[in-house]
């Protein structure tokens, strides 16, 4: 990539940048090759010939050399500090046995708590977990907290269990794995970190996001995850004056009434998008804490955990609706979703269906949903915030979903069904559960293990971009697109090939014809993700690769 010519404007002038000789993903012109940015706004998109006529010496002109300019990604479900910790701690995703895990712990040097993330015993030949005493010995006495890949349970050493006072807590048994209340207490004990460390972890996560084309992250905070102080630090990045992705802050704490919800918001002292996100109705499939109507196939008698009753959840949705803010929950299992849907009915009976619909409530994950549940979600205009890479990681034949749920796993994560029913849907990573790799997430929608639930790349891309802004009730309705007057929030990608990709049989064949004027996206069947060259938010560069100008 080369800059044809560049003039540095005076500090009081608005910077004008012309990107040309590439491809621009825009509804304004599916064949656009150039885009003009004036300050924080897209001023024009069009052809190379037109770009030549408007270029002048006052502009910075960037030759894209065929690169793709596309709206920046929005991750609709992220845990900022947890992501930074996972990036900087012991990586356990490649571990395949308890012995390998203990060896990794023993090889990790340092002082203070030993933190790790990513183990998944469903991929081990022998799923037996190490004992707490074995972790203690391997770590040389350092407290150990190793988060499972789904972050709903962890392995802890005996010293950490003692320091956290886990004895007698729900979810603590004789082994090293902790769940529910014991997991929360252990995580909070392991994460007693100074503010400087929390900020460093958050900056690490923001840098990772910017380098992968994200312009905004929906932070899903809650008392059981990082607490109020951690949440305030995360939300403060929006006013910190640093070039980082925008934080869309959610706080997952239960409200019992309109008055209590208002008091809760006042105490936070942070402008939030809603009292939603990881306000858990249930847990996860991997840790067997997602609430199911019938038991787990690989654990006789276990049906998961229901953390909130329908009455509690209904009161919460009613309170949020009366305040005109988003409410919502983390909900995965079918029994958990039953409680959430009953909560919608109870709230509608109290405050009226129209208020429920107008509030734009959102449910996170919603992995196990039957046809009736999908229709109810559509009726109440509830947005589903889903994670496509869950299916890519665990939906394969013989994978963790099939191990846990048997034949029920084939109908999980019903993306196409949601779309067909008119359920608003947006996508995210749940980082650190899956990494901040947006094109891999788009590919996961195209390659869903249930062919009937595959969606086109275009639908998946919109779910990762414009739909993320809409799901957060963002103030600018033009966010997430590159048309004149829209925010200049985009990413530039080095791509091998551009094409229209459709889910088998679900989109008319004419849409792949150039005459359909369908904007092109990177070919994702190569198995290699496009490389991010630059990320820009409201005209401010968040990340720029040297390759853009070489």
Show the tokens assigned to 13. 């002038």
Per-residue pLDDT, averaged over 378-401, amounts to 97
**CA–CA gap between residue 71 and residue 428 (Å, rounded):** 15
Q: Are residue 328 and residue 208 in the same domain, yes or no?
A: yes
> Quick one: average pLDDT of 308-332?
98
CATH code, domain with 238? 3.20.20.140
Average pLDDT, the chain: 93
- Give the CATH number for residue 143: 3.10.310.70
Q: What is the predicted pLDDT for the residue at 334?
A: 98
pLDDT of residue 504: 58
pLDDT of residue 528: 87
Are residues 360 and 283 located together in one domain of the fold? Answer: yes
Q: Which residue has the higher pLDDT, 501 or 534?
A: 534
Q: What is the pLDDT at residue 444?
A: 97
Distance in angstroms (rounded) separating the CA atoms of residues 250 and 254: 12
User: Does a structural domain hold residue 503?
Assistant: no
The pLDDT of residue 409 is 96
pLDDT above 90 (res 327): yes
Which of 5-13's residues contact partners 24+ apart within 8 Å by CB, and which partners? Answer: 5/57, 5/61, 6/60, 6/61, 7/57, 7/58, 7/59, 7/60, 8/60, 9/58
- Name which of 25, 18, 32, 22 is nearest 62 in CA terms: 18
548 band by pLDDT with thresholds 50, 70 and 90: confident
Report d(CA 414, CA 416) in Å as an integer.
6
Inform me whether the pLDDT recorded for 514 exceeds 60: no
- Residue 259 banded pLDDT, cuts 50, 70, 90: very high
Shared domain check, 120 and 8: no
Helices (H), 236-370: 258-268, 310-323, 334-351, 353-359
Does a structural domain hold residue 74?
A: no
Q: How confident is the model at residue 8 (pLDDT cuts 50, 70, 90)?
A: very low
Give the residue ranges of DSSP H helices in 96-157.
98-107, 132-138
Q: Quick: pLDDT tens for 214-231.
A: 999 999 999 999 999 999
Q: How far apart are CA 211 and CA 496, in angstroms?
A: 19
Confidence of residue 13 (pLDDT cuts 50, 70, 90): low
Instruction: State the Cα–Cα distance between residues 314 and 282, nearest whole angstrom.
Output: 15
What residues contact residue 524 under an 8 Å CB cut-off, 6+ apart? 439, 442, 443, 446, 457, 501
CA separation, residue 153 to residues 90, 225, 439, 533 (Å) = 16, 12, 28, 37
Q: Residue 525 has what pLDDT? A: 85
Give the DSSP letter of residue 131.
P
Split at pLDDT 50, 70, 90, the class of 517 is: low
The answer to the question of residue 392 being in a domain is: yes
Please report, for residues 325, 380, 538, the alpha-carbon distance to residue 357 in angstroms, rounded to integers and kept in the order given. Answer: 11, 5, 30
Q: Which of 245, 268, 196, 193 is nearest to 80 (CA)?
A: 245
Query: CA nearest 531: which of 411, 418, 439?
Result: 439
Looking at the fold, whether 387 and 346 belong to one and the same domain comes out as yes
161 and 28, same structural domain?
Answer: no
End-to-end CA distance of the chain: 5
Number of domains in the chain: 3
- Beta strands 362-365; 383-386: pairing state: parallel
d(CA 61, CA 10): 16
User: Of 436, 471, 506, which residue constitutes the final position of a domain?
Assistant: 471
Structure confidence at residue 402 (pLDDT): 97
Residues 6+ apart with CB under 8 A from 272: 235, 249, 250, 251, 265, 325
Distance of CA 350 to the CA centre of its chain: 32
- Write out the two tokens for 166: 């886990």
Domain-located, residue 506: no
Q: What is the mean pLDDT of residues 375-394?
A: 98
Both 11 and 125 in one domain: the answer is no
Clarify whether residues 184 and 110 are in a common domain. yes
| pLDDT tens digits, 423-477 | 999 999 999 999 999 999 999 999 999 999 999 999 999 999 999 999 999 999 9
Which run of H or of E encompasses 458?
A: helix 457-464
DSSP string, 429-442: -TBTTS-S-HHHHH
Percent of the chain clearing pLDDT 70 (strictly above): 95
Considering the domain architecture, whether residues 257 and 356 belong to the same structural domain is answered as: yes
Position 515 scores a pLDDT of 43
Residue 230 has a pLDDT of: 96
Residue 263: inside a domain, yes or no? yes
Residue 351: per-residue pLDDT: 98
Q: How far apart are CA 503 and CA 509, in angstroms?
A: 11
Residue 380 sits in the same domain as residue 347: yes
The enclosing domain of 540 has a CATH number of 2.30.40.10
Q: Which of 155, 190, 225 corresponds to the end of one domain?
A: 190
pLDDT value at 6 more than 60? no
Mean pLDDT of 339-346: 98
pLDDT at 542 over 90: yes
pLDDT for res 174? 82
CA distance 545 to 550: 9
For residue 1, what pLDDT is reported? Answer: 38
Query: Residue 499: what pLDDT?
Result: 81
Q: Is residue 512 part of a domain?
A: no
- Write out the E strands in 105-244: 114-119, 144-148, 153-156, 177-179, 214-221
Domain shared by 291 and 409, yes or no: yes
pLDDT in tens, 25-61: 999 998 999 999 999 999 999 999 999 999 999 999 9
> In terms of domains, do 200 and 186 share one?
no
Helices then strands (H, E): number in the chain?
A: 19, 25
**406 and 279, same structural domain?**
yes
Confidence class for position 550, pLDDT limits 50, 70, 90: low
Does residue 126 carry a pLDDT above 70?
yes
The pairing of strands 68-71 and 73-78 is unpaired
Please report whether residue 511 resides in a domain.
no
Q: Is the pTM of this model over 0.85?
A: yes
Mean pLDDT calculated for residue range 88-104: 96
Per-residue model confidence (pLDDT) at position 527 = 78
Note down the domain range covering 175: 90-190
The length of the chain in residues reads 550
Q: Model confidence over 153-197: pLDDT tens digits?
A: 999 999 999 999 999 999 998 889 999 999 999 999 999 999 999
In a domain, 107, yes or no: yes
Residue 335 has pLDDT above 80, yes or no: yes
**Which CA distances in Å does 455 have to 260, 409, 418, 443, 460?**
41, 18, 10, 10, 7
Residue 503 has pLDDT above 80, yes or no: no
Q: Are 134 and 102 in contact (CB under 8 A)?
A: yes
Q: How far apart, in whole angstroms, are the C-alpha atoms of residue 465 and residue 487?
A: 13
């Amino acid at each position: 990539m080369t800059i044809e010519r560049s003039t540095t404007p005076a500090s009081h002038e608005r910077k004008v940048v012309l990107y040309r000789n590439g491809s621009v993903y825009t509804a304004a012109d599916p064949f656009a090759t150039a885009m003009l940015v004036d300050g924080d706004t897209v001023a024009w998109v069009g052809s190379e010939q037109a770009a030549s006529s408007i270029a002048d010496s006052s502009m910075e002109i960037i030759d894209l050399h065929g690169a793709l300019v596309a709206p920046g990604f929005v991750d609709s479900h992220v845990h900022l500090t947890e992501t930074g910790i996972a990036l900087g701690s012991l990586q356990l995703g490649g571990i395949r046995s308890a012995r390998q895990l203990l060896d990794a712990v023993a090889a990790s040097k340092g002082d203070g708590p030993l933190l790790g993330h990513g183990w998944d015993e469903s991929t081990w030949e022998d799923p037996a977990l190490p004992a707490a005493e074995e972790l203690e010995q391997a770590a040389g006495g350092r407290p150990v907290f190793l988060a499972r890949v789904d972050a709903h349970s962890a392995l802890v050493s005996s010293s950490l269990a003692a320091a956290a006072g886990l004895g007698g807590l729900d979810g603590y048994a004789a082994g090293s794995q902790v769940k529910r209340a014991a997991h929360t207490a252990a995580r909070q004990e392991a994460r007693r970190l100074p503010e400087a460390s929390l900020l460093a972890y958050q900056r690490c996560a923001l840098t990772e996001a910017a380098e992968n084309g994200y312009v905004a992250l929906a932070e899903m905070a809650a008392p059981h995850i990082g607490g109020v102080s951690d949440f305030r630090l995360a939300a403060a990045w929006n006013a910190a004056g640093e070039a980082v992705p925008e934080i869309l802050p959610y706080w997952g704490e239960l409200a019992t009434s309109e008055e209590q919800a208002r008091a809760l918001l006042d105490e936070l002292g942070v402008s939030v998008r809603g009292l939603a996100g990881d306000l858990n109705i249930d847990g996860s499939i991997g840790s067997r804490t997602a609430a199911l109507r019938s038991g787990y196939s690989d654990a006789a008698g276990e049906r998961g955990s229901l953390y909130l009753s329908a009455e509690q959840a209904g009161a919460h949705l009613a309170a949020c609706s009366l305040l005109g803010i988003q409410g919502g929950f983390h909900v995965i299992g079918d029994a958990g979703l039953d409680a959430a849907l009953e909560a919608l009915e109870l709230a509608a009976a109290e405050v009226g269906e129209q208020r429920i619909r107008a509030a734009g409530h959102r449910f996170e994950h919603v992995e196990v949903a039957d046809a009736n549940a999908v229709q109810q979600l559509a009726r109440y205009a509830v947005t589903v915030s889903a994670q496509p890479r869950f299916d890519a990681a665990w939906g394969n034949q013989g994978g963790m979903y099939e191990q846990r749920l048997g034949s029920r796993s084939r109908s999980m994560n019903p993306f196409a069904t949601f779309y067909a029913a008119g359920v608003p849907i947006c996508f995210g990573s749940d980082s650190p559960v899956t990494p901040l790799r947006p094109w891999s997430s788009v590919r996961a929608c195209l390659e869903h293990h249930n062919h009937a639930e595959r969606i086109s790349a275009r639908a998946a891309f919109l779910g990762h971009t414009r739909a993320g802004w809409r799901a957060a009730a963002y103030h600018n309705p033009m966010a997430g697109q590159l048309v004149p007057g829209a925010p200049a929030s985009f990413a530039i990608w080095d791509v091998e090939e551009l094409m229209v990709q459709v889910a088998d049989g679900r989109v008319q064949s004419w849409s792949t014809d150039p005459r359909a004027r369908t904007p092109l996206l990177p070919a994702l069947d190569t198995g290699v993700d496009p490389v991010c060259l630059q990320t820009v938010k409201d005209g401010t560069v968040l990340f720029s690769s040297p390759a853009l100008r070489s």
